[in-house]
Amino acid sequence: MKSKKFNYVMLTVLLANIATYPVIGLAENTSEEPKSEKINGDTSTSSQVINGQDNQLESATSDSILTESEMSTQTTSLDETTATTTTDTSEENKEEIEKTRAVINEKLGIKYEAHIQNLGWQKEVNNGELAGTTGRNLALEGLKISLDKTNSDLSGGIEYRSHVRNIGWQNWTSEGQIAGTVGKALPTEAYQIRLTGEIAEKYNIYYRVHTTNLGWLGWAKNGEMSGSEGFAYNVQAIEIKLLEKNETPPTSTETPYVKKTTLNYQAHVQDIGWQSNVSDGKIAGTTGRNKGVEGLKINLSDAAESGNIQYRAHVRNIGWQDWVTGGQLAGTVGKALPTEAYEIKLTGELAKNYDVYYRVHSSNVGWLGWAKNGQSAGTQGFAFKVEAIEVRLIPKYTSAPALGNAFLKSEQVSYQTHVKNIGWQNAVTSGAVAGTTGRNLWVEGLKLSVPNQTISGSIQYKSHIRNIGWQDWVENGQLAGTVGRALPTEAYQIRLTGELSKIYDVYYRVHAQNFGWLGWAKNGQSAGTEGYAYHVEAIQVTLVPKGGSAPGKLGDSFRVKKTSNIITSVPYVSQYAPIYAPWGCAVASMTMLLRSKGVSVDMKYALDNLPMYPADKGGQKGDVYTGAGFGWVITPQSLTQYMKKWYPNVYNITGVTSNGIKNHIIDGNPVLFYGYTSHQKDTVRNHAKVVVGYKDNKFLVYDPLYYSESAGPMSGGKHPKYDRGAKYWVTEKDFNEEFAGRAIVIK
């Protein structure tokens, strides 16, 4: 019963502490029943007071609740106790009452309120409650904190300050003043709170913040920093607890404060040497100056986590080096070896909390896309040097640069041909010959692709087919041409798309029937022939990085058969002036051909050294100046060999038809032929002339049998049918009456 009696005493103390409340059943009693002024008076009145507190007593523990009989007994006991001042029990109860009152009166309270973005000041909250918001992305901009010392005589107080965006740490403030700002839209990022005086000796102040991207951090205490710095993360909410020194602290006290690790790096640049350090995201190196980065060092500072940064370089003529750690050299110094690519990564706790992003500026390419966490950035296989680099250290789960095409590895084009009588050949790559040469077998179909490509885009191509013309574009391994229809291809066009077209040029050329290898085309130009009915026999294709050298001479990649042509490079040469050689028509005509190719010919020398009969069986018979002993002009074979002393590409085409001559003229190659002269009857073709044009079924002929190129018809010999002037047009029909198949062409 002793414990129950103690509980009853405690209850009496509690009732005494709320003595300011009206006693239920008495304060509101309006009856004329007598009221007891002393507790040892009418016991029924005391019972009424106690029973009037039933609702409050029901919340006590089972050990504290009294039955009616026990309450009656305890009431009686209380009457006896209060009536007798000499008992030991009365003194004991008074001592317990005083101790309990002291504990209650000395308990400190804490209250605080937050100013929130878009909301303003919230309601004041108490010890351990949340001030601010979570899940709404609203910044806590200002904070007020104060202690409730109503029941405490302890000296001291509370001080606090905030770290504000764009301002930093503010000065300490205290007791209900604002830490932070109001009306400036400046979020707070961290807090410090501390106690002073006797309060600091008896209490600990604990606090933690809820911050953008990180959520709730660990509990800080007694002036420690709580929040983040360097990330631009907003404090969104705060909780504060005031605990006595002997009370159990909050459990999670790890990582109350996060400070961003900083990164700096420096580059060793060709012809410059070591540049100054630059910080997170700045350019190390140069752009627009064609100077390679030869070495790189990267350092971290202010790292709160364990771990480090590692990196390595791909060096010209060396390849990938081993990994090095913060502050060490990646690359070389003093060897004039540019770096071509980099890989950078983090280790330890740093790798769990941060991502490292980086990109390089590469020669001939410019800025490549961003790589991260050990990926390759740069080029390999091109001999493109790194000219500049940017590196950024970014906390995980925050906005970061978009990843892109950070690394270019040399691509190769693969292609295969379907050939007449052979079928599909094996695929070849990068400039090898697909098809055949010297076998007169045409290519009927073509497939191209860029296998295992690391760059987005495609290779597209189309073919010009006999009796069909140009087909539509196909790409990436599809068929251009036909199979099984015996239709030769005559020309091709090839192009790149997407990022491939930004990094590479595609070059290609074909081996065409009757022409052989034509010149190189690139990036969608036509390669082959049109209008000749000449088939493609072989093809070569290769990819060349932008700015690289072409695999051969560009131009003359596509020949379209013309219906007319005048070769303006052929000069008119007279056999009479300035050197008078009436029987020197062969030398005058050959000089026109040679000079059309830019060859300088001394007419006097050519006349004096003309092969003569009988020393040369095909030589000219008779003096070129006087005509003495004249029998015939030099033959085409002997004249061809004589012309090769000046120029190699001279050919005896005796037996050619007028249609063949037309094709040579359209191709730009003048033709020397043997015909009639106006000084002879049309029985012996002893006169050399030159065909220089074709149009509308007519040939343009230069006849050297005149003193000047302006000489008109009927100003030469006595045979009017062939006295047509120095330059004249003749119908194909009339030309055929004169021409008997003997001719020479120069190419």
End-to-end alpha carbon distance in the chain: 134
Quote the pTM value: 0.50
Res 97: pLDDT = 53
What are the distances in angstroms from CA 18 to CA 11, 22, 78, 135?
A: 11, 9, 19, 42
Tens digits of residue pLDDT in 691-719? 999 999 999 999 999 999 999 987 766 77
- pLDDT > 70: percent of the chain: 85
C-beta of residue 521 within 8 angstroms of C-beta of residue 507: yes
Q: What is the predicted pLDDT for the residue at 717?
A: 65
Mean pLDDT (whole number) for 271-284 = 95
The pLDDT value recorded for residue 56 is 36
Residue matched to tokens 């009418």:
42
Q: In a 3-state reduction of DSSP, which class is residue 642?
A: helix
Mean pLDDT score of the chain: 87
- pLDDT at residue 404, as a whole number: 86
Burial 525-561 (b: 16+ CB within 10 A, else e): bbbbbbebebbbbbbbbbbbbeeeeebeeeeebbbee
In this prediction, what percent of the chain has a pLDDT beyond 90?
A: 73
**Distance separating alpha carbons of residues 726 and 715, to the nearest angstrom:** 9
Find the mean pLDDT for residues 457-476.
96
Q: Which two tokens stand for residue 355?
A: 């991502």
Residues 568-611: tens digit of each pLDDT: 999 999 999 999 999 999 999 999 999 999 999 999 999 999 99
| CATH number of this structure's domain 565-746, picked from the four choices 3.30.1130.10, 1.10.3720.10, 3.90.70.10, 3.40.50.300 | 3.90.70.10
* pLDDT attached to residue 714: 79
pLDDT interval class at 284 (50, 70, 90)? very high
pLDDT at 561 (0 to 100) = 81
Q: What is the mean pLDDT of residues 203-223?
A: 96
Q: Which two tokens stand for residue 570?
A: 């052929």
The Cα-based distances of 86 to 30, 82, 89, 219, 313 in angstroms read: 38, 10, 9, 54, 96
Confidence of residue 292 (pLDDT cuts 50, 70, 90): very high
In this predicted model, what pLDDT tens digit does every residue of 613-640 receive, in sequence order? 999 999 999 999 999 999 999 999 999 9
pLDDT at 330: 98
Query: Which residues of the chain does CATH 3.90.70.10 include?
Result: 565-746
Q: What is the pLDDT of residues 35-87, one digit of tens each?
A: 333 333 343 333 333 333 333 333 333 343 444 444 444 444 434 444 444 44
pLDDT for residue 353: 86
pLDDT at 20: 41
